[in-house]
Structures are given as structure tokens and as C-alpha cells.
Amino acid sequence: MSHNALYLALGLALADPTQAQSLSEVYQSARGYDATYQSAMSQAKATEARGEQAKAGIWPTAGLTAGASRTYLDVVGATDTRTYGTQNAGLSASQPLYRPSNWANYEQGGKQVQLAQAQLQAAEQELIVRTSQLYFDVLTAQDTLTFVQAQKAAVAEQLASAKRNFEVGTSTITDSREAQARFDLVTAQEIAAMNDVQVKKMALDQLVGKTGVQPKPLAVPANLPAPTPNDVNAWVAHAEAAHPSVVQARIAVDIAKLETTKAEAGHKPTLDLTASYGANRSIGSATSTATTRSNSGTVGLALNLPLFAGFAVQNRVKETLALEDKAQSDLDNAKRSVAQATRTAFYGVQSGLSSVKAIEAAEASSQSALEANKLGYQVGVRINIDVLNAQSQLFQTKRDLAKARYDVLMGNLKLRQANGTLKADDLAPVNALLVK
């Protein structure tokens, strides 16, 4: 069996490929179950609805009123009593014609809708990264267990060989004891690795709301993708323009400016168009038994001109201008933060790709070193501890290589999150690298 074929077989040892799920499938399950994401969706809907409420300030308002009363009159000393009553109904409406504060509030409502979309986009990107991290955590833990079990089997063979050589007198008891000590150590590592697999699987199950979720292992050798474009400045430029946190900060600046417009409107007049229509019916009165009915309608303009409010408007304007400056500073900080995060993620992926190549070379060297030590032990120029150390180095290198590959895949996703372009479709290239 070739080296890569052996690696793939070890990776499949803990998984049933017919039952395994791709990263996209696990993400879709998490998207419909994860409480954090569901909370973010509800918050986005609430924010959007709050933004729509601002339309009420520029739309007309109307109201209907109605009433009825009955009076019983008994005059002391008179010979008769009288009962009479009234009935009335009215309809009134008002349409704002000039209200600068209401229009600024309406524009803020539109910004709130955009803010909700940006917040939901950030929550979705966070869920993609969180799901992918747990997915690869399970695979890493399974690989570690697989390699520890393979190392245990190799150490067991070496232990048996040392015992046979001692029995025939070709080696000392030291070889047997060293092999036994290494076997006991690997057994302890196996127990820890098994526990780690269970813990990582429980975390993934909790995320998707299912039990027994089994990720598909990575097909080896894997052609790991490099960042495209391979220019950090291009990634940073997009991050500063479209990252959800930058978009939210930019919207916050616009909202702050509109808040200043609302404050300045405190000096300005308001003008409304008003209309009303009413009907009144009287059934008798204190002095008459006649029934009368009257209808009335009015149309008019209502003007309100503020004159003095105790300097409240001036100080409110000062407050909102200061808040504008704060929002602008927050925007600058958001741009710098995403630029730094994008650069860090970009160079992290490049470094990860180089590490994978270096560890692949180290794996080949460790394999050759193990074979040389085994041959040297057989001919008597190497001792048992040399073989055990070579075995340990090889399997440690295998574990490091597996983790480095997962780190590169995660690094690519985190890079897209850092510059704000991450979406569910970006999981497709990762799925293409998994075992079919």
C-alpha cells in the first residue's frame, strides 16, 4: 500500500462514508437550529420593523370618534319629567406638509433596514466559521485518534520483537522495558484521544441539533487552495468597503447626521393639512321635544412656529454634532480593525500553505528515518529506543500535517470573513476536497 493510500485508509477508519455529511450539509442543519443565529435573525427582523415604523411620520393620520348620551330631567315643583339625549360622530384626518424632523426620521428608518441586513450578514458569516471550526475539530480529533492507534500497533510490534530478541539473547531487557514504557504511554494517549473525539462530536451535535453527525474526511493528497487574488491590498480594499462591521459603522454615521438634522429642525416651523367632518343629532332638550340634526366639515392648515425652548434645541444640536464625531471615529476604527484582521488572515493562509509543504517533506523524511532505524535495529547498529523515537516522530508529523491542512482550509474561510465576502457558496470548494 502506498504512503498516501495508507494515510487515506487511516482517515476513514473512524467514519462510515455512506453516513458522513459534507460541510455544506452540516452548515444548513446548523442554520436551521443554532439558537445564536436564530436570535440574530429575530433581531434583524425587529430592527427592520422598527425602521418601517418611521414612515408613520410622513403618512396621513385619521381617526373616528362617536358618542351618545341620555339625560333624565326631573324639575322639583314641576308636574312633568323629561328625557332627552344626543348622538354624535366625527372623522378627522391630518397630513404633514412640512415637518423636517419627520422626514429625517423617515430616512433614518431606511438606514435601520440596511443596518438589519448588515447585522444578519455578519451573523451568517460567524455561523459559517463556527460550523466549519467544529467540523474540522472533529476531523482533527479523529485523525489524532487514528494515528495514535496506528502508533500503538507499531509499538506493540516493536515490543513483541524486543521480547523475542531478549528470549533468544540477541538484546537486553532494556529494549523490552523501553518498548513497554512507550506502549503504556501511547495507551494513555489513546484514551485521551478517544475522549477528545467524543467531546468534539458532542459540540458539533449540539450546534446542528442532531446526534451522530459524522463529517466527511479530507481526501489526501489535497490540492489546498491559495488566496485569490494573491494580493493582500485587494483583500484589504474590499474589507474597508464592504465588511459588515464597516457597513454598520458607515450607516451609524449617516444616522448620526440625520439625528443632527432632526435636532436642527427644532428651530423650524411645522405645517399640517387638517380636515374633519362631524354629525350631531339631538333628541329633545331641557326646553324642547324637537329632534334636530347638524352636519359640519372643516379643512384647514395648522402652523406651529417655535420661538424659544430654553436653549434646549441649541444644546441638542451640540450633542448630536459630538455624536457625529464619535460615529466617524468608530467608522475609522472599524476600517483599521478589518484591514489588520484581513492582513493577518491573508498572511496566515500563505504561511499555512508553506507549512503544509514543509511538513509533507518532513513526513517523507520521517518515514525514511523509521525504515532506516528498523533496518539498523535488525542488523544490530541501532537500539530499540531509536526505532521507538522514529515511530513517535513519524506519527506526530502525520498529526501535524493533518491539522495543518485543516488550518489552511479554515484560514481561507476566516480570510473571507475578515474581508466581508464569506457566504455559504464558499463552502463548495471545501466540499470538493472531501472524500466522495
Q: pLDDT (tens digit, 9 = 90+) per residue, 179-206?
A: 899 899 999 999 999 999 999 999 999 9
Rounded mean pLDDT of 366-380? Answer: 88
Percent of the chain with pLDDT over 70: 94
Asked whether residue 253 falls in the same domain as residue 284, the answer is no
Residue 308, number of CB atoms within 10 A of its CB: 7
Q: How confident is the model at residue 86 (pLDDT cuts 50, 70, 90)?
A: very high
Neighbours of 372 (CB within 10 A): 15
**Assigned domain for 52 exists:** yes
Residue 229: which domain range? 3-58+99-267+311-431
* 124 in the same domain as 93: no
Asked whether residue 177 is assigned to any structural domain, the reply reads yes
In a domain, 436, yes or no: no
Q: Of 305, 328, 351, which marks where a domain is finished? A: 305
User: Does 118 have pLDDT greater than 80?
Assistant: yes
pLDDT single digits (tens) 346-356: 999 999 999 99
Model confidence band, residue 59 (pLDDT cutoffs 50, 70, 90) = very high
Are 221 and 283 members of one domain? no
pLDDT value for 382 = 78
Q: What is the CATH number of the domain that holds 425?
A: 1.20.1600.10
Q: Are residues 178 and 294 in the same domain?
A: no
Residue 68 belongs to a domain with what CATH number?
Answer: 2.20.200
- Quick one: 177 and 297 in the same domain? no
- DSSP 3-state assignment of 416? helix
Q: What distances in angstroms separate CA 137 from CA 102, 131, 196, 202, 362, one per listed residue?
A: 52, 10, 10, 11, 23
334-340 average pLDDT score: 97
Do both 90 and 197 map to the same domain? no
Domains in the chain, number = 2
Last residue of a domain, one of 305, 321, 354: 305
Q: How confident is the model at residue 220 (pLDDT cuts 50, 70, 90)?
A: confident
For the residues of 233-286, what is the DSSP string, one character each? HHHHHHHHHH-HHHHHHHHHHHHHHHHHHHHHGGGS-EEEEEEEEEEEEEE--S
Give the range among 34-38, 81-85, 252-256, 269-273 with minimum mean pLDDT: 81-85
Quickly state the pLDDT bin for 6 (edges 50, 70, 90): very low
Indicate whether 369 belongs to any domain. yes
Confidence of residue 77 (pLDDT cuts 50, 70, 90): low
Q: Give the tens place of pLDDT for each residue, 124-182.
A: 999 999 999 999 999 999 999 999 999 999 889 888 888 887 888 766 788 888 889 98
Q: Do 363 and 392 belong together in one domain?
A: yes
Dig out the grid coordinates for 246 from the structure.
464597516
Note the pLDDT of residue 179. Answer: 86
Whether residue 68 is contained in a domain is answered as yes
For residue 192, is it within any domain?
yes
In a shared domain, residues 254 and 350: yes
Based on the fold, state whether residues 273 and 224 are members of the same structural domain: no
| Co-location of 255 and 340 in the same domain | yes
pLDDT of the residue at 18: 53
Q: Are residues 76 and 164 in the same domain?
A: no
pLDDT of 10 strictly over 80: no
Q: Is residue 24 part of a domain?
A: yes
Residue 292 lies in a domain: yes
Same domain, 94 and 104: no
